[in-house]
């Protein structure tokens, strides 16, 4: 099968969206011998992306998809393992969160661009004899008692036993299912940029810097680059090198000299969770089911884990001829999303405090809490998503 192959008339599972969530689901189904069709509206994968970290639990999922360890090993070889997240207010250290003591075969945060994660998952899918159908944009989704009919914007039709929306925050599948998406939008805009720069803390840590003007995260990437994520009241649509340099000068004075801008963007962030993960034969995973602040870098990770869990549930449901296994998917994964959204929301609100009195309390309390091993280890495990096994 090639990516340009015509759509078949029927399949057991249709997956809408071939990002990391859809790819993880497809690989899981392929491993289980389930027939599926994976659709994506883009002609090819993007080479720029918001996600830049793969946490320990996600690497464990890759090991489950390929027990030889080759899948996680290939991705690790493309990335940069980092063992420490450090919190600061300006230049003042507040706390350090370490991953190298976690009870996992992958005691680190792997800094790697999302397109590399997608490439590794796609390579595994192709090794299993399957591929993505591109470009097919779904225009209509209609379910009945026996299945789901998908109609593309160019008139092709696909009949599926079940359909999964892995199609992002503005999910067509979620809309067709009539599932609410409860939550709000953050007032601040977020700047995202990949740069080459001289950075005083160096590439051995991810730095989360608080300040009166907002949060800035600096994370190392392979090839000597850095990923910058920052809250800004109103950012330009495409932040320039000068804008990024000024932002760093204000929030991390004297610590950064940007030498080149690889790419940049501005985006708005919501914190929302779908009211349900299933409506009949329609199911949700990834950003179609939950979106939240990029603090902690957990969005793509939670989505990949959704895809793997849903793939196993669908395989059981189809093998048993009963949909009961699908009820367990929502029961297991929706509480995880609620927990991740709550954690990242608290992190974002604490990081973006403006009132001097509240910032002073934060800057006093965080160093004290970080000296308590049980609390420090618990936060590291939460970021790594190890409690969600």
Which three-class secondary structure state does DSSP give residue 302? helix
State in Å, rounded, how far the first CA of the chain is from the last one. 33
| Cα 162 to Cα 314: distance, rounded to the nearest angstrom | 9
| Cα 80 to Cα 227: distance, rounded to the nearest angstrom | 12
Tokens of 215: 């949060």
Asked if the domains at 10-52+113-180+275-348 and 184-270 fall in one CATH topology, the answer is: no
| Cα 97 to Cα 376: distance, rounded to the nearest angstrom | 6
Global confidence as pTM: 0.94
Place of tokens 């649509």: 237
pLDDT of residue 188: 83
CB 339 within 8 A of CB 378: no
pLDDT of residue 47: 54
pLDDT of residue 234: 85
10-residue stretch averages of pLDDT, the chain, 389 residues long: 72 97 98 97 72 96 94 97 93 92 97 96 97 96 97 96 97 97 91 96 93 88 95 91 95 94 92 97 98 89 98 97 92 96 88 89 93 93 92
Would you list the domain boundaries of the chain? 10-52+113-180+275-348, 184-270
| Cα 231 to Cα 189: distance, rounded to the nearest angstrom | 6
Place of tokens 């869990």: 309
Which CATH architecture fits 184-270?
2-Layer Sandwich (3.30)
Tokens of 201: 């803390």
| Cα 93 to Cα 96: distance, rounded to the nearest angstrom | 8
Looking from the CA of 101 toward its CB, the CA atoms found within 13 Å total 10
What pairs with residue 142 in β-bridges? 149
What pairs with residue 89 in β-bridges? 92, 210
How many CB atoms are located within 10 Å of the residue 140 CB? Answer: 12
pLDDT of residue 45: 59
pLDDT of residue 235: 87
Which CATH architecture fits 10-52+113-180+275-348?
3-Layer(bba) Sandwich (3.50)
């Amino acid at each position: 099968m090639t990516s340009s192959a015509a759509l078949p008339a029927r399949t057991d599972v249709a997956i809408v969206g071939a990002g990391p969530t859809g790819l993880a689901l497809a690989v899981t189904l392929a491993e289980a011998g389930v027939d599926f069709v994976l659709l994506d509206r883009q002609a090819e994968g993007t080479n720029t992306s918001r996600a830049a970290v793969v946490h320990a639990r996600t690497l464990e999922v890759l090991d489950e998809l390929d027990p030889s360890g080759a899948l996680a090993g290939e991705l690790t070889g493309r990335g940069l393992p980092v063992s420490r997240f450090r919190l600061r207010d300006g230049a003042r250290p507040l706390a350090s969160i370490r991953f190298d003591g976690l009870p996992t075969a992958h005691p680190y945060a792997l800094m790697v661009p999302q397109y590399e994660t997608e490439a590794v998952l796609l390579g595994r899918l192709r090794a299993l004899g399957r591929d993505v159908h591109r470009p097919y944009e779904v225009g209509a989704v209609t379910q009945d008692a026996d299945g789901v009919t998908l109609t593309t914007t160019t008139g092709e039709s696909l009949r599926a036993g079940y359909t999964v929306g892995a199609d992002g925050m503005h999910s067509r599948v979620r809309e067709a299912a009539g599932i609410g998406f409860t939550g709000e939008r953050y007032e601040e805009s977020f700047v995202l940029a990949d740069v080459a720069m001289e950075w005083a803390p160096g590439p051995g840590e991810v730095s989360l810097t608080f300040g009166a003007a907002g949060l800035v995260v600096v994370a190392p990437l392979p090839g000597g680059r850095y990923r910058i994520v920052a809250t800004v009241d109103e950012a330009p649509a495409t932040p320039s090198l000068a804008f990024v340099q000024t932002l760093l000068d204000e929030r991390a004075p004297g610590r950064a000299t940007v030498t080149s801008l690889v790419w940049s963007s501005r985006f708005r962030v919501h914190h929302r969770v779908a009211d349900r993960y299933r409506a009949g034969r329609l199911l949700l995973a990834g950003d179609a089911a939950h979106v939240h602040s990029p603090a902690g870098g957990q969005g793509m990770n939670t989505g990949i884990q959704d895809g793997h869990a849903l793939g196993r549930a669908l395989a059981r449901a189809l093998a048993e001829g009963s949909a009961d296994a699908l009820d367990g998917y929502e029961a297991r994964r929706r509480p995880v999303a609620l927990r991740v959204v709550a954690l990242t929301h608290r992190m974002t609100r604490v990081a973006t405090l403006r009132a001097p009195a509240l910032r002073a309390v934060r800057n006093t309390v965080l160093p004290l809490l970080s000296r308590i091993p049980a609390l420090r280890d618990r936060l590291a495990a939460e970021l790594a998503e190890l409690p969600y096994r």
